[in-house]
A and B are shown apart, each in its own frame.
Chain A
């Protein structure tokens, strides 16, 4: 297992190199002079030229990329063009906020969606199934920032239960997390329901019922566990996406997370900041995917046996057979 994890982590290196090269090319080959953007309206031509020289923008593209990657390799993500502060510092100061909102949002969504999905699969075409389908459709069609606005209007402005903006106490995290949850929830409900429906029709489920196992036991131990794999995948992917920063939701709730950092950096053509946050997001997504894969092993013994090929004993067993 550890060997497998090690291999997966090593495999992330070419992925990150690829991503970084693509983003670096896009940022550098599109029009726009970062020096002019940094200095703003009214800067003299001499000042702009001096800034270009200082930032090394007069070097050839490939030289700049090589220099950048060499620095990243030793953990130096460079300095933001805009604030001149180290990019890694800025990313780490914002990441916890994004993490809490993403984590809480996904947690809310999962805690709600899985039971609802199970119920609507078990009671297919019942009133509860139709209602959840309609609600899921509604939520899918509403963008997160719009839900966020609605939440602000109702809970912050009218009921005054939660603050509208900013971060600080746990109460500040509730509305943004609910917005994140609403975006992802519909997907989870649908996923749980459809895989549940598939599993419910399997022979072994009928066998279990025929053996006399109670309905509850059949659903929770036989069906749910078998239908969890695709759900875990979807949850994992969504968690990774949300960790990259929920740009719109962060903007609506005035939250200083990774999303707002990245979008500002793109607008300002702040190349080190964009590169740093993209690479960081890629690493986080890679780690989450890995975590999901490992989780499979705990949910499904068949997957676990697959990993054992990576251990010495596993390989010996495979050779013997």
Chain B
């Protein structure tokens, strides 16, 4: 009896061990089969590019964030190509003409451009792609002014606008309006297309493993010629310091948006090149609720404007990696931004005087509502210290992004807030129309600002095609902002990129545009 019991147990133990062993071996086999990406240095024709978030799609009509834009822009081309330095060049359109009434554009389509599936691109594909993006609610931020596109003849496409819109070329150049293969979309459907996208870009899609990596390979028939680097992997690394270590270890070749805190460590390395440029897309502002609460009193808004010191905020919050912005225009908007323009100089006594005048001789205490990410709390801490000196005590009320957008954008349930946003197209219209036009109250105009004169100026400036007139109009609107202080422009942060120093062609981009096509390995 006892004997057989022991025997049974032994058998059971052995079979358990066998199962466990099979498990471990199976696991090893599986993981070994997955294959590794190793980075040897000499004679390479592959590239590993790390991004800090997963993308949302490989379909341009679903693209709406920077990281997705970086990946999508390798796979597709736009009619107008925007270079890393922000210049607009002919892309899939060789030339374009704006109609005299400013309500339509006609594009001449480049001949002989091949899609990844071997088809030749036609005017039909172009019109189809534009209409697809216009219809998609996901790309409304660059296509809301467009009415529709139509094929004029075999080599011309007309884009109709709902209203005159000066920065329309910037929008046509947006990644969201890339050209896709009509046949592929129709045959595969939207779902199928997202698994096997077909564009004209220098790289062909291979695979996308959610949360892990996107793999693509060179498209040899690309219209600008074969790319220098053959295999490209976009690796998703959400932790920036981990990514910095990986770059240091040659595990990755390009690191998009490294943390400012890693800058010092990375710049000192022989195998890494770190570069930065003032970002066109990231603008920090302090906003007030102009109609409700203490800051409905203009004198208090003015007091805040006098109390802050931009250079100290850039130093304290961005470790110097940014620039003060004194005009409500992105500094990269060439011709519009005037570097000599001054908003309000720091003058704490004047701020205190204004408080007294407004009936608060002992200062005020007011909550500042913020998105809880350190992107916003860090600059807000510096602002808090500066305001305290003038007698304005702001107390932090932190919330997550979803709540923040709902409370601030929709309900305007706040007194003062500090926010950073990205300008989707690089034109003064983006900030002025979004943040100041009364039609955007309940959306991006959460300052709750409505001024019929400013509304009119904004509409006039966006529909004018005369650069000189636009410069003058935007100057006028900037003066109105300075007069009414619905919000205070603060600063812009740097756009950074770090890469293996043997890699050529990597340049920092104010608009966060990075084209692997421009890169090559040093011989």
Which A residues lie at the B interface, using CB under 8 A?
30-34, 36-48, 50-51, 54, 82-85, 90, 93-94, 96, 100, 103-104, 152, 156-157, 160, 163-173, 251-254, 256-257, 260-261, 264, 267-269, 298
Contact = CB atoms under 8 A, between A and B. Distances in A.
Given A157-B248, A165-B237, A253 B405 contact: no
A256 B236 contact: yes
A169 B407 CA distance: 46
A83 B31 contact: no
Interface string B15-46: 00000000000011011101111000000000
B184 interface: no
Contacts of B194: 84-85
Given A84-B57, A167-B212, A33 B405 contact: yes
B35 A168 contact: yes
- A51, A156, A257: most-surrounded residue (chain B CB, <10 A): A156
Interface string B304-321: 000000000000000000
A14 B436 CA distance: 51
Contact of A36 (B32, B37, B400, B406): B406
A98 to B, nearest CB: 11
Interface in B30-77: 30-32, 34-37, 53-54, 56-57, 62, 64-65
A37 B242 contact: no
B210 A40 contact: no
7 contacts: A31-B403, A37-B405, A41-B424, A152-B245, A168-B36, A252-B242, A298-B12
A169 B422 contact: no
A165 B251 contact: yes
Contacts of A163: 36, 249, 251
Interface stretch (B93-101, B133-141, B390-398, B460-468): B133-141
Contact of B249 (A47, A157, A261, A264): A157
B272 to A, nearest CB: 14
Nearest to A157: B245
B181 interface: no
Nearest to A254: B237
B86 interface: no
Given A165-B251, A269-B402, 12 more contacts: A33-B410, A36-B405, A39-B64, A39-B141, A43-B443, A46-B140, A47-B138, A84-B62, A85-B194, A156-B245, A169-B31, A254-B239
Contact of B405 (A32, A46, A94, A298): A32
Contacts of A152: 242, 245
Interface string B403-441: 101110110000000000110100000100010000010
A119 to B, nearest CB: 21
Nearest to B37: A168
A32 B402 contact: yes
A82 B211 CA distance: 13
A54 B137 contact: yes
Nearest to A263: B238
Contacts of A46: 140, 144
Contact of B137 (A51, A100, A169, A256): A51
Contacts of B242: 152, 164-165, 252-254
A156 B249 contact: yes
A30 B70 CA distance: 33
A94 B54 CA distance: 13
Interface residues of B, number: 57
Interface string B446-457: 000000000000
Closest 7 CB pairs of A and B: A32-B402, A256-B211, A47-B140, A42-B141, A256-B212, A168-B36, A254-B237
A36 B238 contact: no
B401 interface: yes
Contact of A39 (B138, B239, B410, B440): B138
B137 A50 contact: yes
Contact of B235 (A38, A166, A172): A166
Contacts of A85: 194, 210
A254 B140 contact: no
- A30, A165, A173, A257: most-surrounded residue (chain B CB, <10 A): A165
B444 interface: yes
Nearest to A267: B401
A100 B32 CA distance: 13
B138 A32 contact: no
A194 B65 CA distance: 53
Given A31-B407, A83-B57, A267-B401, A44 B249 contact: no
Contacts of B440: 45
Contacts of A167: 31, 34, 212
B24 to A, nearest CB: 8
B264 interface: no
B406 A31 contact: yes
Contact of B65 (A40, A165, A171): A40
A252 B239 contact: yes
A251 B239 contact: yes
B368 interface: no
A36 B410 contact: yes
Contacts of B243: 165, 254
Given A85-B210, A261-B210, A254 B410 contact: no
B246 interface: yes
B251 A164 contact: yes
Contacts of A164: 242, 245-246, 249, 251
B167 interface: no
Contacts of B442: 45
Contacts of B211: 94, 256-257, 260-261, 264
A157 B12 CA distance: 44
A28 B239 CA distance: 29
A41 B406 contact: no
B236 A170 contact: no
A221 to B, nearest CB: 9
A188 B243 CA distance: 33
Contacts of B407: 31
A6 B187 CA distance: 45
B209 interface: yes
A79 B140 CA distance: 21
A221 B245 CA distance: 48
